[in-house]
Amino acid sequence: MSGNSIIRIGTRGSPLALAQAHETRSRLMEAHGLDEKQFEIVVINTTGDRILNQPLAEIGGKGLFTFEIEEALQNGSIDLAVHSMKDMPALLPDGLAIAAILEREDPRDAFVSVNYKSLQDMPQGGLLGSSSVRRNAQALRIRPDLKSVQFRGNVQTRMRKLAEGVAEATFLAVAGLNRLGMAHHISSIMDMDEMLPAVAQGAIGIEVKQNNTRAQDLVQAIHHNTSGIAIECERAFLARLDGSCRTPIAGHARIEGGKLFFKGQILALDGTTSSEVSKEGALEDAAKIGVEAAVAAADKQLLRA
C-alpha cells in the first residue's frame, strides 16, 4: 500500500457512503486481523455531490459520482475505493477493476411518504419526488396521473425535502435505509414485479488499480461470490445496452438451486411502453446471460417503437 502501510480507503462524503466505507474497513479488519489505526478513510468530494440542482442525465450521468475518486486511485492518493455499485458506469477506466463485491443487501426500492402508505394511496395528480429516470418511468407505468418533481441529494436531504412538502412521496433504496439505520422511514417496499431494481442496487463494490496486487489480495478476502456473480450478470446487461442515466433500465439476477435467474427491463421515459426479458442459466455463464438478455430486450424495444 502506501509507504507507511496505512490503507487509504476513498469514498464520497455522504452518510451512506461513509457507512459503506466503514463496513468495508470493518470487514477488512476482521478478515486480516488488522487494527483501525491501519486505515484512513479519505473523503473525496465528487461533481455529482456538488451539483444538486440539475438532473444527472443532463450534466454527465453516473460517472459524476466516480470521476474524482477514480482519479485518486489512478494517481495513488488512495489504495482502494468503495462505491455503491448502482452508481458505477457500465465501463471502468483503463487500469482499474472491481476487485470485490460485498454481500448484497436488500436490492428493492422503498416507497417513502409522510402521509401515504403506498403508491396506490397517493391522490390523483400527487407530487412524486424522484431523480431517477428508471423509478420515474416505473411509477408512471403504475400511476400515469402522478406529477414528477426533481429530487436530488443524499438520503437525509431527500427526507428533509419530503418533510418540507417539496413532494408527497419518494423512492429510496431499501439497502441504503437499512445501512443507515433508517428502515423505520419505509412506508412500504415495492414488489419487484412492479419496480424492478436498478442494476447492482444494494451492492457495495471495491475498486482498485489492476496492477496493485496487494490491494487486490487484501480485498479478495471479503469478496462475496454469489453476490459477485449476480452483479456480473446485471452489469453485462447494462454494458451491452450502453446504459446511462438517460435511459430507464432495470435488471436483477438471483441465484437459486445452483442456477442464475435474470430479469431485465427497458422502459420509455413516461412509462407507457416497456420491454421485459427473462433468462436463466449456469453461474459460470453470468456475463453471457446478461448480454443475451440485453440483446433480446433491445430487440423487443425496437419492435415496440
Same domain, 174 and 148: yes
Residue-wise pLDDT for 118-146, tens only, equals: 999 999 999 999 989 999 999 999 999 99
CATH number assigned to the domain comprising residue 253: 3.30.160.40
| Total domains, the chain | 3
Distance CA 157, CA 159 (A): 5
Distance CA 104, CA 87 (A): 15
Is 198 contained in some domain?
A: no
* Of 87, 191, 193, 217, catalytic: 87
Is 245 contained in some domain?
A: yes
Q: What is the mean pLDDT of residues 14-24?
A: 95
Same domain, 215 and 269: no
Please state whether the predicted TM-score (pTM) of the whole model is above 0.75. yes
**Torsion angles phi and psi, residue 254, rounded to 5:** -135, 155
Is 292 contained in some domain?
A: yes
Same domain, 81 and 208: yes
Distance CA 19, CA 106 (A): 16
Q: Which of 3, 139, 136, 131 is nearest to 55 (CA)?
A: 131
Q: Alpha helix (H) ranges present in 180-224?
A: 213-220
Active site annotation includes 87: yes
Same domain, 217 and 83: yes
Same domain, 160 and 286: no
Residue-wise pLDDT for 236-258, tens only, equals: 999 999 765 578 999 999 999 99
CATH number assigned to the domain comprising residue 27: 3.40.190.10
Residue-wise pLDDT for 39-58, tens only, equals: 999 999 876 555 555 555 55
Same domain, 295 and 162: no
Domain that includes residue 249, residue range: 224-305
